[in-house]
Amino acid sequence: MKLAYWMYAGPAHIGTLRIASSFKHVHAIMHAPLGDDYFNVMRSMLERERDFTPVTASIVDRTVLARGSQEKVVDNIVRKDQEEAPDLIVLTPTCTSSILQEDLQNFVQRASLTAQCDVLLADVNHYRVNELQAADRTLQQIVQFYLERAQKKGELPPGKTEKPSVNIIGLTTLGFHNNHDRTELVKLMESLGIEVNVILPDGASVTEIQQLPQAWFNLVPYREVGPLTAKYLQSAFDQPTIDITPMGLVETARCIRAIQKVLNAQGANVDYEPFIDEQTRFVSNAAWFSRSIDCQNLTGKKAVVFGDSTHSAAMTKILAREMGIHVVLAGTYCKYDADWFREQVSEYCDEVLVSEDNGAIGDKIAQIEPAAIFGTQMERHVGKRLDIPCGVIAAPIHIQNFPVGYRPFLGYEGSNQIVDLVYNSFTLGMEDHLLEFFGGHDTKEVITKTISADSDLTWTKDALTELKRVPGFVRGKVKRNTEKFARDRNFTEISVEVLYAAKEAVGT
């Protein structure tokens, strides 16, 4: 048992449902108790989805507990097949069905005898994998199912497309800015003269799957969802994979160069260098931003980065390499992928943290006191509490992170967006600092910047006035140091004298 207040990645079935609901004409049926269909609320609310989420539950209740699901699951599959006529129904196990150990595979087989559609059992174990791993696995499972069948029936279209083409794999519903990234990636491929063969799974229909092998290569923009599918395609069809996330200028260029290499190996004879140069120097504003005096002011500022592997790693590199910001700590909650993450970021930050414990990262932030945080919604709230600005760069996210306007994180426009995000986070801090420096209008009481308890010490009026004269961005630290000093010496009241004694003692 684990005492947990919050979690970064959801349970396995959420990943499966994200894949199923990304496809067109795919319906998921969860084997779950009443109330587990919360996914529908998230999809409908966060994505402001106009259509009914194609997820229903085959309810596990007392009767099921006593006698087993018997006909229920099969009936529900057959019923949904008649009502919605989907191409595929994915039977989705949950934590409950994991321990009931019913033979769901048997239900699937029985149902597929009657149903017009295909029926699959998502091969995910609730207690072994999380949302992201399950999504990765389910996508691969569906792809493999359709390709193997087409292969067996001899229905696979032969050869590659005439022009260079790509499959973009891993864009899903409820993915962080995935819909905007999609547009940006398609635009990028267009500019490179590459045809987009299939985009998976977002908006795809399962009938498109058999076209996958026709692409010249696969692009997997995110680390979390898609690698297993690409790996399968590589081994079964010898299709090369590009798994460099084109996030930030340097990585985007690296990704494009990798594409160039892959295409030229297949005889395309392309040279993307002029394109990269033109985009980097004159189209995107990110390179120019790095050079501008605004960015100069950010040099050496401290930042903490935390999120999923993809976004946390890319962000760390952008901050350190492209903006000269001092990343004190880079972290991820993707524990299962820790080695990759360490390898990616080690040279760009002082410390790496791999943890699923939001308290641990919160405490780290409190200790480090960075000038800005780039993290998930949880870090944004830590930042709020500590009065540190935070840019949200990764899931878990809430409705604000599903903007209606165009906000990609990938490609050249993505780099522009990231510049704004980073700069706006820091300027807020800077503005605050200038206000303080020139005696601004801030008359608010200072509060303790600790996560836990309020201060048990009293400050005299004079000492408080003195404290207010300390510039805002270090005031919290001065206050804490003084209080620590006072506590160590058993003072209960903090006067101006104590304040200065503390200052001398710690040299703040």
Partner 1 sequence: MTLAKPQTQNLEFDCDTGNYHTFCPISCVAWLYQKIEDSFFLVIGTKTCGYFLQNAMGVMIFAEPRYAMAELEEGDISAKLNDYAELKRLCEQIKRDRNPSVIVWIGTCTTEIIKTDLEGLAPKLEAEIGIPIVVARANGLDYAFTQGEDTVLAAMAHRCPTSKQVTTDAEKEERSGMQKLLSFGRKKEETAAAAESEYRDHPNLVLFGSVPDPIVTQMTLELKKQGIKVGGWLPAKRYTELPVLDEGDYVVGINPFLSRTATTLMRRRKCKLIGAPFPIGPDGTRAWIEKICSVFGIEPQGLEEREAKIWKSLEDYLALVRGKSVFFMGDNLLEISLARFLVRCGMTVSEIGIPYMDKRYQAAELALLEKTCQDMGAPLPKIIEKPDNYNQLQRIKDIQPDLVITGMAHANPLEARGINTKWSVEFTFAQIHGFTNARDILELVTRPLRRNNSLRDLGWDKLVKEEATV
Catalytic residues: 294
Torsion sign (Cα): 222, 354, 12, 137: positive
Report the distance separating Cα 470 and Cα 399, nearest Å.
Answer: 37
CB of 401 vs partner 1, minimal distance in Å: 13
Report the distance separating Cα 219 and Cα 178, nearest Å.
Answer: 14
Residue 314's closest CA among 284, 349, 353, 354? 349
CB of 406 vs partner 1, minimal distance in Å: 20
Residues facing residue 31 across a β-bridge: 58, 93
* Contact (Cβ atoms closer than 8 angstroms) between residue 297 and residue 430: yes
Q: What is the CA radius of gyration of the chain?
A: 26
The residues, any chain, with a CB within 8 Å of residue 217's CB and separated by 6 or more, are: 166, 167, 239, 240, 241, 242, 259, 262, 263
CB of 382 vs partner 1, minimal distance in Å: 9
CB of 31 vs partner 1, minimal distance in Å: 12
CB of 374 vs partner 1, minimal distance in Å: 18
Q: Quick one: tokens of 313?
A: 């790693």
Report the distance separating Cα 69 and Cα 74, nearest Å.
Answer: 9
Name which of 59 and 142 has its Cβ closer to partner 1: 59
Q: Residue 26 in 3-state DSSP?
A: strand
Name which of 127 and 438 has its Cβ closer to partner 1: 127
CB of 408 vs partner 1, minimal distance in Å: 24
Note the maximum CA span of the chain: 87
Q: Quick one: tokens of 49?
A: 């989805």
Q: How far, CA to CA in Å, does 364 sit from each of 164, 206, 370, 373?
A: 47, 45, 10, 11
Of all helices (H) and strands (E), which one includes residue 183? helix 178-191
Q: Which amino acid is at 427?
A: T
Name which of 14 and 421 has its Cβ closer to partner 1: 14
Report the distance separating Cα 373 and Cα 196, nearest Å.
Answer: 36
SS (H, E, C) 402-439: CCCCCCCCCHHHHHHHHHHHHHHHHHHHHHHHHHHHCC
Strands (E), 337-416: 351-354, 372-375, 390-392
CB of 113 vs partner 1, minimal distance in Å: 22
The arrangement of strands across the sheet holding 165-171 comes to 195-201, 165-171, 217-219, 241-242
Name which of 35 and 267 has its Cβ closer to partner 1: 35
Q: Which residues here bind partner 1, judged by CB under 8 A? A: 1-7, 10-11, 13-14, 32-38, 40-42, 44-45, 48-53, 56-57, 59-62, 65, 76, 83-84, 94-96, 98-100, 126-128, 130, 378, 381, 398
Q: Residue 106 in 3-state DSSP?
A: helix
Name which of 76 and 138 has its Cβ closer to partner 1: 76
CB of 139 vs partner 1, minimal distance in Å: 20
CB of 10 vs partner 1, minimal distance in Å: 5
- Cα angle: 179, vertex 181, 186; to 5 degrees: 100
Name which of 246 and 383 has its Cβ closer to partner 1: 383
* Contact (Cβ atoms closer than 8 angstroms) between residue 22 and residue 201: yes
